[in-house]
Amino acid sequence: MTFAPAARLTLAFACAHAGAAAAADSAGPLPLTLSGTGPYYVLDIGAQARRLSGAPDLGDLRVRNAAGETMAFAWVDPPQPAATRQRAPARIYKVPLPPGDAASATAAGAPRRQAWIVDTKDAGDDLMRLELGLERDTQGVWTLRVEAGDDLQHWRTVQPDAQLVQLQALPQVGAAGTLASQAERERLASTGIDLDERPARYLRLTTAPRSAIPPLVSAAVLRTAHRPAPPPLEWSDPIVASGCEASSCDYVLPANTPVAALQVTPSDIDTIGEVTVLGQVDAGLAPPRHRSLLRGSLHALRDKARHASPAPGPAWEDAAIASVYWLSQPAGAPDLHSPPLRLDGAHWRTLRIETFGPITQLGHAAPTIRIAAHRRQLVFVARGAPPFALARTGAGEPSAPMPLASLMPARAADAPLPAASAALAPAPVTSAPAASPSTLPAAAPAARAGWLWGALLAGLALMAAMAWSLLRKPRGVPG
């Protein structure tokens, strides 16, 4: 039996719409559990909630009650970037070890240890980064515990095992057969420690039990005016490469994820390489931006030459250049991993890791990556009967977020958010055979389902009519 073109087109359209509707309806509502006294509740939007949304800005997410009513809500705006960042020198002092560390250091066979106090001179600013200076010709890897305090008596841990690295590449034989000069050798240096924008007057540095003592000669802090702390980072599971070429690997990212940090892990231990990180964007949507972070030993001229004439195809943005490594340490010390790269929260579909040589310099297999995003927060008023759920709006439903000041008119601008919270329920909702009044609004899904069945039945009826007309034709009559 041969189907007419009109019948085939109708069937194809109906099947395509069925697939689209099934994909849209498969992102069902996520039930919420409430804790604390309302009426205001704060919901952290993590990876699972971002997957529910169909928009990068999460503008189609709503909170609904058992009757399907949309709750009044507002997005919590993230802290605005500071206007200025200032690099200020800081005084560094050698001090005795803290009592607990001093006791462990007296154990038989324990290596010598050392502690320092860094005076930042101002407890009101947020400390973004501590930059330490080492003796120039010294090479090594050192591990420090970093603590912050305001009175030299009470300390809070900032980094339990921050690592300092200063290594010199081995000399190479030049074209004329002579060794390269000291100035021409490449240097691997990572002597900065992220402080996560925490205010503190003093920093205390203490060498780890199995670490050598770094030859510190100077200290400086990168500081900015105080602002509310950003939401904590949420790290993804390891992401494997979707494809590799001779000098690059691509990684497909979860949808609607603003990438704030990136960790690149080589596949083999005792591996080090310099990489360029690029993010794929839709061509023509936005002009290329400047790199948000440049770390490690930069080869600016070489990189400029590589990217001066981009090839046609998907648009790629430069995100960072850095040295990534995974190095073993002697005497049972923990392995040394390159620190995460801080990025600017762009929504990329794919990340590309490029090396300045073959990608195999990062190991026998493609490196893995992990990405981190700041959780976005939503405040809503719990009205009506539970259960409450986070749902995606239907097509054409207007966007209705409110400014936070309008949603909470009695709240001062600098007051903390409500203590009551909402969270995604641990178990997914099981679908019942019959809808009950407590389910979320079914009018829009029901309408879509009715239209879909009508389209399918119309297509089948059209195909049956065409087949019947073909069978009824007498032999010898031209078709």
DSSP, residue by residue, 276-322: EEEEEE-TTTS-----SEE-SS--HHHHHHHHSSPPSSSEEEEEEEE
Tell me: do 122 and 214 sit in the same domain.
Answer: yes
Three-point CA angle 407, 410, 412, nearest 5°: 100
**Do 311 and 270 fall into the same domain?**
yes
What backbone phi and psi angles, to 5 degrees, belong to 294? Answer: -125, 120
Nearest 5°: CA angle at 176, between 171 and 178? 35
Under a CB-based contact definition with an 8 Å cutoff, are residues 125 and 147 in contact?
Answer: no
What pLDDT was estimated at residue 291?
41
Alpha-carbon torsion 8, 12, 18, 21, what sign? negative
Average pLDDT of the chain? 76
Does residue 40 carry a pLDDT above 90? yes
Q: What is the pLDDT of residue 300?
A: 43
Claim to verify: residue 215 and residue 281 sit in the same structural domain: no
- In DSSP terms, 167 is beta-bridged to 188
Q: What is the pLDDT of residues 383-428, one digit of tens each?
A: 998 899 999 887 667 667 888 888 998 888 778 888 899 898 875 5
| Lowest model confidence (mean pLDDT) among 64-78, 287-301, 353-367 | 287-301
pTM tops 0.75: no
Predicted local confidence at residue 327, as pLDDT: 87
Does residue 449 have a pLDDT over 80? no
In a domain, 441, yes or no: no
Phi, psi of 311 (to 5 degrees): -75, 150
Same domain assignment for residues 192 and 247: no
Amino acid identity at 88: A
CATH number at residue 350: 2.60.120
Would 386 be classed as within a structural domain? no
> In terms of domains, do 148 and 238 share one?
no
Q: Dihedral of the CA atoms 237, 240, 242, 243 (nearest 10)?
A: 160
Q: Are residues 99 and 194 in the same domain?
A: yes
Question: What's the rounded Cα separation, in Å, for the pair 465 and 459?
Answer: 10
Domain that holds residue 240: 233-374
Residue finishing a domain among 335, 358, 374: 374
Same domain, yes or no, for 137 and 270? Answer: no
Strands ordered across the beta sheet of 30-35: 61-64, 389-392, 30-35, 421-424, 40-45, 376-381, 73-75
Do 210 and 271 belong to one domain?
A: no
Q: Taking 60 as the threshold, does the pLDDT of residue 5 lie above it?
A: no
What is the structure's pLDDT at 287? 42
CA distance 64 to 82: 36
Q: Is residue 186 part of a domain?
A: yes
- The residue-averaged pLDDT of 222-243 equals 84
Distance CA(418)–CA(420), nearest Å, equals: 6
Domain count, the chain: 2
Same-domain check for residues 285 and 358:
yes
**Is the predicted pLDDT of residue 289 greater than 80, yes or no?**
no
Is the pLDDT score of 284 beyond 60?
A: no
Question: 241 and 155, same structural domain?
Answer: no
